[in-house]
Amino acid sequence: MRKTYTYAITEAESKYLKTGMRVAVPFGKNKIYTALVFNIHKKSPVLYVAKDIHQILDEAPVVNQQQIKHWEWISNYYMCALGDVYRAALPSAFLLESETIIFKNDAFKNDLELGDDAFLIFEALQNHSQLTINQVCDILDKKKVLPIIDELIQKNAVHIKEKIYEVYKPKLIRYIKLKDKFNNTDELKTLLEKLSRSKKQREAVLLYFQLASNSKQVKVKELQDKANISLSVLNTLISKNIFEFYHLQQDRVSFKGEVSDLKVLNEHQEKAFLQVKQSFEKYSVSLLNGVTGSGKTEIYVKLIKEFLDKGKQVLFLLPEIALTTQIISRLEIYFGDYLSVFHSKYSMNERVEVWNNVLNSKTKAQLVLGARSSVFLPFSDLGLIIVDEEHENSYKQFDPAPRYNARDTAVVLGHQHQAKVLLGSATPSLESFYNASEKKYGFIHLNKRFGNIQLPNIELIDLKEKYKKKRMKGHFSDRLIQMINEALNEKEQIILFQNRRGFSPVVECTTCGVSPQCPNCDVSLTYHKYRKELKCHYCSYYRAMPNACDACGGSTLDSKGFGTEQIELELKELFPDINIGRMDLDTTRGKNGYQKIIRAFEAQEIDVLVGTQMLSKGLDFKNVSLVGVMNADSMLNFPDFRAHERAYQLLVQVSGRSGRSKKRGAVAIQTYNPYHQILQQVSTNSYVEMYKEQLQDRWQFNYPPYYRIIKITLKHRDYLKVDSGINWLAKALRNSFGSNVMGPTEPVVSRVRNQYIKNLTLKVPPKQSLLKTKKQIQKIMEVFEAVKDYRSIRFIIDVDAY
């Protein structure tokens, strides 16, 4: 709902109710929804008669005032309904409605704990696989049943249907190793002689050696299976002090391990830490720009500790939780009893639990580690917000509304709580670096890797030349193959990166690697297969698909890319004996998909990990000495004004996975454009140069951080409707904003789920009032929606669109 609705309550109810409590309300025909009390007042609505509320659901507010203020900001800034924020913010278990479907939790055994009505429903669920809330009403012959459902949920007796979610179960993997003293050959000989009479035990030891020669870590289960021995044989060997067990633990939610002391910071970290604290005295937001592997996490840890000690709440934001098992386990070691993890993929009950713990300022939720939606939690006393990898575009919610950027939303949240906000990245977003250079944010630079290991040596490999000289095997250059061989010989691990996106709409000449560019915008043109046209994503310039390359005259223009799967296949042929892992959307879909692969790679069961950009995100593998980028060009040519910035970030981040702990690592980047300025800047680690150059472009073409971007999208099944609607809208917007209106344009995928899509982009100059601009857009939208023909068109506004 775009606006709020007024319901009638009695005087007694008005004394009891508080803003932030939930009430069940009737809406439309026979439907009951969960609503939130937003304001208690005495103004009757003019256009309708206020209905009575159905019943009160809470004894105390589940949403606090600070949140409501924050939500209002989000709704105003991102131009969405308050209801959209409410839906996104509250765990779905709080949003029961008459259509909600409930299921029995088979693991629930304490049915005697349930109240009479709840028990009845639980019983009914033995016979019916599922019940709607309406059916529950019928069974109990009652209208007011939501508190009963609430009870069933709180006691974990039922689930409600929602998007499929993953439950992160703690998982321990047991490994086995020989006691250290047997590293000595003589000791080993004696041992094998001693064991000569117990055949099984001797076999186990011998097989252990075989397995240990392939991977450094040996799983108990693997040894057991391969040697075909029982656990008791292994236990005997343990009790004889020959073997020992150890665990690698990836427990996420409930922490039972031991807490360890914080690491001692090295001099550079210590200096940065002190600078952050100084910066906090002057600025509410600071940017920590520390190169990959500089040990930013340990600095965060020390800051977190200080704020926890002061009794303050701390929020640690990560771009994607699924990828950051590593950070979770690192923080758990220090803050186990204070740490809660919050993520939309967690089960409903886990989310409700974290919500309630934060609401009640419980110690175990004093530190929340979460993805973007954790900015909605009911914090009451935030002291510190850390936004790790602040440049990541997954902080921006693309669909549905609220289309918010969690980084920017966190900055506002910080202001509200008078908390300090620390943005961290090795490759800051242009926006944040700009804010820092404009002295809006404090700035701390950390340019040394931990352990004084040099940043990896980055080599650019010229594909054009390699193809010409026939030095390619599939997509592998002879140089890359050589480097892989060297790393394998040293028993070091390798990451190969291929950024294959869902489609590859940019056309590239196979001879010279040049892509046709838009004359008006700083982007590559996009190939539209259907009409055989090249189009600009931003300004609607188009031309026919040429027969030959503009640059070199070559006649093979290629729009096909190659993906991770193909790389994996080629690799298998080149190196038949190695273990290869693949990490992309296809292999990580299942439950715990990421963790499995990451764990296997950490345990060195995998020699080469092939993957997409998932690999770039904050992972810390000790034994990786080579990162290979199969083809950097598709990133450079992606049709987006942020393409170059993002390519730089992505390449520096993947490169940063190499050589993190022992010695300087190597990076090989294969490209047709070794002289491209972005690749040069990546290879010389010249962030500031990249920044200045990109900023120049942004200035010239009126993009952020100078101009703001508001994107308007129309969607409808009927193409003509969308077309006429967007033209109407373009005219109306141009009347108000003139040439700052770009488009209409069609996105690359111009029809999704049978909906035709058209876009307009409004560039808002720095001096133009954002508030007035939004008001004007709002007005135009209201007129648009009053046109009968257009009423059914979906109207989407995306502020600060990516």
> Exposed e or buried b for every residue in 378-409, given b needs 16+ CB within 10 A?
bbeebbbbbbbbbbbebbbbeeebbbbbbbbb
Which of 448/715 has CB closer to ligand ADP? 448
**Which residue matches tokens 């508190």?**
147
In the list ligand ADP, Zn ion, none, the entry touching 354 (Cβ below 5 to 8 angstroms by class) is none
* Residue entry with tokens 């939208």: 781
Binding region for Zn ion (CB under 5 A) out of 49-57, 69-77, 269-277, 518-526: 518-526
How many CB atoms neighbour CB 452 within 10 A? 8
Comparing CB distances to ligand ADP, the nearer of 430 and 455 is: 455
Residues near ligand ADP (CB under 6 A) are: 263-266, 269, 290, 292-298, 450, 620, 660-661
- Indicate which single residue of 5, 27, 38, 541 sits in contact with Zn ion (rule: CB under 5 A): 541
3-state secondary structure 469-518: CCCEECCEEHHHHHHHHHHHHCCCEEEEECCCCCCCCECEECCCCCCCEC
Non-local CB neighbours of 649 within 8 Å, separated by 6+ positions: 391, 427
238 in contact with Zn ion (CB under 5 A)? no
From the list ligand ADP, Zn ion, none, pick the one residue 521 interacts with, judged by a Cβ distance below 5 to 8 Å according to partner type: Zn ion
Q: How far is the CB of 533 from ligand ADP (least distance, A)?
A: 43
Q: Which of 520, 556, 696, 769 binds Zn ion (CB under 5 A)?
A: 520
**What are the b/e assignments for 597-623, b being 16+ CB within 10 Å?**
bbbbbbbbbbbbbbbbbbbbbbbbbeb
The partner in contact with residue 539, picked from Zn ion, ligand ADP, none with C-beta cut-offs of 5 to 8 angstroms by kind, is: Zn ion
Q: Does 536 bind Zn ion (CB under 5 A)?
A: yes
Cβ proximity to ligand ADP, 296 vs 396, nearer residue: 296
Q: Is 521 in the site for Zn ion (CB under 5 A)?
A: yes
Q: Which does 758 bind (CB under 5 to 8 A by kind): Zn ion, ligand ADP, none?
A: none
Dihedral of CA 337/339/342/346: which sign?
negative
Q: Tell the smallest beta-carbon distance from residue 541 to Zn ion (Å).
A: 4
Choose which of 539, 580, 600, 603 interacts with Zn ion (CB under 5 A). 539
Among 10-18, 288-296, 335-343, 511-519, the segment contacting Zn ion (CB under 5 A): 511-519
Q: What is the DSSP string of 363-380?
A: GGGSEEEE-GGGGGS--S
In the complex, the smallest distance separating the C-beta of residue 342 from Zn ion, rounded to whole angstroms, is 41
506 touches 534 (CB < 8 A): no
Nearer to ligand ADP by Cβ, of 293 and 665: the residue is: 293
Indicate the residue whose CB is closest to ligand ADP. 295
d(CA 161, CA 103): 7
- Tell me how many residues contact Zn ion (CB under 5 A): 7
Q: Which of 425, 759 has the CB closer to Zn ion?
A: 759
Distance between CA atoms of 24 and 32, rounded to whole angstroms? 6
Radius of gyration of the chain (CA): 29
Kind of pairing between the strands at 755-764 and 751-752:
antiparallel
Q: Which is nearer to ligand ADP, 288 or 507 (CB)?
A: 288
Considering the complex, what minimum distance in angstroms separates the CB of residue 744 from Zn ion? 13
Angle at 361 between CA 159 and CA 275, to 5 degrees: 120
- Looking only at the bridges linking them, the beta strands covering 526-528 and 666-671 are unpaired
Residue 297 or 649 with smaller CB distance to ligand ADP = 297
The interface region with Zn ion, picked from 12-20, 538-546, 555-563, 672-680 by CB under 5 A, is 538-546
Cβ neighbours around 764 below 10 Å, total: 22
Cβ distance to ligand ADP smaller for residue 294 or 373: 294
C-beta of residue 397 within 8 angstroms of C-beta of residue 374: no
Which segment (99-107, 345-353, 426-434, 517-525) binds Zn ion by CB under 5 A?
Answer: 517-525
Q: How far is the CB of 295 from ligand ADP (least distance, A)?
A: 3
Min CB(289)–ligand ADP separation in Å: 10
Q: Residue 131's Cα: distance from chain center in Å? A: 34
The least distance separating ligand ADP from the CB of residue 672, rounded to whole angstroms, comes to: 30
- When CB distances are held under 5 to 8 angstroms depending on the partner's kind, the choice from Zn ion, ligand ADP, none that residue 296 binds is ligand ADP
Residue 182 CB: number of other CB atoms within 10 A? 18
When the beta carbons of 112 and 544 are compared against Zn ion, the nearer one is 544
Chain contacts with Zn ion (rule: CB under 5 A): 518, 520-521, 536, 538-539, 541
